[in-house]
Amino acid sequence: MAKSSADDQELRRACEAAIEGTKQKIVMSIRVAKSHGTWVKTGKLGKGHMAKPRVLAISTKEKVQRTKAFLRVLKYSNGGVLEPAKLYKLKHLSKVEVATNDPSGCTFMLGFDNLRSQSVAPPQWMMRNVDDRNRFLHCVLNICKDVLGRLPKVVGIDVVEMALWAKENTSAISQQPGNLQDGHAMATSAESDVKVTVERELVSQAEEEDMEALLGTYVMGIGEAEAFSERLKRELQALEAANVHAILENEPLIDEVISTVQVLQGLESATNCVEDMDEWLGIFNVKLRHMREDIESIETRNNKLEMQSVNNKTLIEELEKLLERLRIPSEYAACLTGGSFDEAHMHQNIDACEWLANALRILEVPKLDRSYANMRSVREKRAELDKLKITFVKRASEFLRNYFASLVDFMLSDKSYFSQRGQLKRPDHADLRYKCRTYARLLQHLKSLDKNCLGPLRKAYCSSMNLLLRKEAREFANELRAGTKASKNPTVWLDGSAGSNQSANSADTSTVSEAYSKMLTIFIPLLVDESSFFAHFMCFEVPAHADGNKAVPSDDDNDDDLGIMDIDDNDKAGKQSADLGALNESLRDLLDGIQEDFYAVVDWAYKIDPLRCISMHGITEKYISGQKADAAGFVRILLDDLENRISSQFSRLLHRFAILATRMEQYIQGQSRDLVDQAYMKFVTIMFVTLDKISQADPKYADILLLENYAAFQNSLYDLANVVPTLAKFYHQASESYEQACTRFISTIIYYTFERLFQFARRIEDLMYTSTPEEIPFQVGLSKVDLRKVVKSSLSGVDKSISAMYKKLQKNLTSEELLPSLWDKCKKEFLDKYDSFAQLVAKVYPNETIPAVSEMRDLLASM
């Protein structure tokens, strides 16, 4: 037999979940289709409506003395979950009728005697098949018989057919017997148990035996039914007469029975009232629960409405604030688009700039909430503000470019600002800077609005000021040279180096050094102040120079005070500014070309007295030591170039000395040897001392300067040194100094390239004085692993390292003829150092292998 929905355990659990809390147990559950019809006179159902899926469940509820039985109708909710729909008490079941208009016999109706409106036809229930119908009806009839002690009226179905069906399905039927009316445990069954029962047939076996015994008493057969019926009628009448007589005789007992029956009826009525009240209380509880849910839903909606009201109020306030942000004051709009840039109107321009910068800032995230940033009105207003910004920046930039040019043109056209014949004029930029300060804050606001606009403004300022500074330096240098009186004599520089006893010649050429010093005294502080003023005025974010960094105090120490906030040196000390590169580039544009006038003074002084290079070098060195400001970077470069120019001019003196000595030897022809030798000694001594002094000014290139000059001295005097003993002495002295400078320079090159390797060797050598070779590998940083790391990092790709060493040597030398000899010395020195390192490794790390000395020698020979 096909599995019925009555066997569906999932359906049973779903039904139990739907009635949870009612203390009822599901006896049987089965899926049906519900439809409606109307009663007609024939007792048949009319045309039904559309069928709806439902579940019929029979449930029981145990009491102390009895058990109640219910028929539940459950429906499916929107989520597919079963929920209670109807509840019927089986004690009110009065009729079970199978619909005759359904040929399949699967449709039936259940009539209840407590329905309020009997005019409305009860619903029709349709099973999937006859077996499901028989299962359900047989279960209902059995429960009615066991629990209620009676059977409802059955219409449209043969009880014998039901009994036969029950016998045929005995193998699929099981039950749990129990005395339901005595209050014992109610017979409950699983869905597989909720089927029909063979033992509970409509006519039992005992009843059949009693009927056969009765027929045997009357000696009648089955065929004598009419005679048997007549006889039973007569005996029934006699029995009824006897009963009437007995009743009349037992009237007191009957009264007691009637009283008892009335009491029982009253109890039954009271019980029914209590049950009805329990049902009503359950209904009220459900309604109260629904009402409570409705109240909660209303409260939730009210809370949402209240929150929405608060949110709307807040939103209106935020929008009002936003509208206030988006409003552009008419006075600011007029100032930004067409206002004047005269000094009298600068206050209005500054206020408008501050408002515009703030308006742009508050329309950007995070000042403005991200939800507002993409609003159309905000985007349009931001575009309008950007247009205002572009217009104002363009107008202000054009005005400032013209303003800078006009200021400089005015000064260039007035000769009183420059040195004139017979009168040296110190450049005075106080009035110029005062006029520029008026627009300092405007430049700051322009930078905050559009930092790219400062590039063209800086170039315009530098271009104009460069013309002014170069003319001032040119006119000052020309008048300085014209006003300095000094005798030009080819022998003055030689006689002037002899000593202080020749004061006349020394006095004549000292004015040259004084003129050079005056040039630096006037213009170096001016250029430093101009650089500092430019850095502040054009809004470069670089540390300001301290007053102590100035070489010579000037009257314009406070000229770079623009009336604006300076950079906090304490907070930003040592911080590399991103603007420093741009500042140096702009300072080059500002001061480029002015160095030519300084070079002209140096060349002029050298032509008068070459030995004055010494004093000019010292003066330049003093100014270099005082220039440490980042804003005066180009001034330091200028001083470095001057120092190199002076050194270059002085180095020419060494070559000229060889020519002079040759001519002197030609003139004496064996006469006045002592006088000439004394001149040689004094002159060469001064040259060597001066050369050492110049080299000390730049320790980084000191050895290169010494070895190149000593080599030039030896090359130029090689022939004379062979015949002049005094010059031979100085030749050997220069040779020794040359070798020493070469050794230091080569060692520097080698240690720069192979620093880790030879530093490791030096540590081993230091420990050899206090420890045995066996103990050294156990020192921190000197283990075998450390050795392997050092060798790998230093000697892997050693050919490239040696090539880099050669290139560095070639780069630092300016004299190409010295390179071959120095490279040979460098290779020999490196090989000696590596040989010492290899010996140390063999002694301290006997089991470790490094590239052999022979391999290194072959590699060096091939390069």
What is the spatial distance between Cα 638 and Cα 643, in angstroms, rounded to a whole number? 9
- Angle, CA 276 vertex, CA 273 and CA 280 arms, to 5°: 135
Bridging pattern class, strands 153-155 and 93-98: parallel
Structure tokens at 599: 């070079």
What is the spatial distance between Cα 431 and Cα 34, in angstroms, rounded to a whole number? 108
User: 3-class secondary structure for 11-40?
Assistant: HHHHHHHHCCCCCCEEEEEEEEEEECCCEC
Tell me how many helices (H) and strands (E) the chain has.
27, 8
Provide the percentage of residues in the chain whose pLDDT is more than 90: 14
pLDDT at 164: 78
| Burial status of residue 98 (CB atoms within 10 A of its CB: 0-12, 13-18, 19 or more) | middle
Give 820-842 pLDDT, tens digit per residue: 999 999 999 999 999 998 998 89
Q: What is the mean pLDDT of the chain?
A: 79
Distance in angstroms between the alpha carbons of the first and the last residue of the chain: 105
- Angle, CA 841 vertex, CA 835 and CA 842 arms, to 5°: 90
> Would you say how long the chain is, in residues?
863
Bridging pattern class, strands 107-112 and 93-98: antiparallel
> Which residues, in sequence order, are bridge partners of residue 111?
95
Average pLDDT over residues 359-380: 77
Closest CA to 21 of 375, 285, 316: 285
Kindly tell me if the per-residue pLDDT of 549 is higher than 60: no
pLDDT band at 543, cuts 50/70/90?
Answer: low
Higher pLDDT, 36 or 802: 802
Among 287-301, 341-355, 415-429, 476-490, top mean pLDDT goes to 287-301
Backbone CA torsion sign across 24, 29, 31, 37: negative
pTM value is: 0.47
Average pLDDT over residues 398-421: 86
Give 585-625 pLDDT, tens digit per residue: 888 899 888 999 999 998 898 888 776 777 787 788 888 87
The amino acid at residue 827 is K
Higher pLDDT, 192 or 811: 811
- Residues 6+ away with beta carbon under 8 Å from 353: 392, 442, 445, 446, 448, 449
The answer to whether the beta carbons of residues 526 and 427 sit under 8 Å apart is yes
What is the spatial distance between Cα 347 and Cα 848, in angstroms, rounded to a whole number? 80
pLDDT at 492: 40
Give 200-209 pLDDT, tens digit per residue: 444 566 766 7
Give 492-506 pLDDT, tens digit per residue: 444 333 333 333 344
Give 29-72 pLDDT, tens digit per residue: 999 998 875 444 334 444 445 788 999 999 998 877 788 899 99
pLDDT band at 81, cuts 50/70/90?
Answer: confident
What is the spatial distance between Cα 334 and Cα 139, in angstroms, rounded to a whole number? 98
pLDDT at 736: 92
pLDDT at 40: 41
The answer to whether the beta carbons of residues 798 and 859 sit under 8 Å apart is yes
| Least confident range of 17-26, 359-368, 754-763 | 359-368
pLDDT band at 212, cuts 50/70/90?
Answer: low
Neighbouring CB atoms inside 10 A of 615's CB total 19
Closest CA to 694 of 761, 624, 769, 633: 624
> Which residues, in sequence order, are bridge partners of residue 28?
58
Average pLDDT over residues 745-769: 88
pLDDT at 204: 60
The count of C-alpha atoms lying within 13 angstroms of the C-alpha of 179, restricted to the half-sphere facing its C-beta, is 4
* Residue 61 three-state SS: strand
CA distances from 623 to 95, 393, 605, 620 (A): 128, 41, 18, 5
Provide the percentage of residues in the chain whose pLDDT is more than 70: 80
What is the spatial distance between Cα 582 and Cα 413, in angstroms, rounded to a whole number? 31
* Residue 181 three-state SS: coil
- Angle, CA 324 vertex, CA 320 and CA 328 arms, to 5°: 150
Distance of CA 179 to the CA centre of its chain: 78
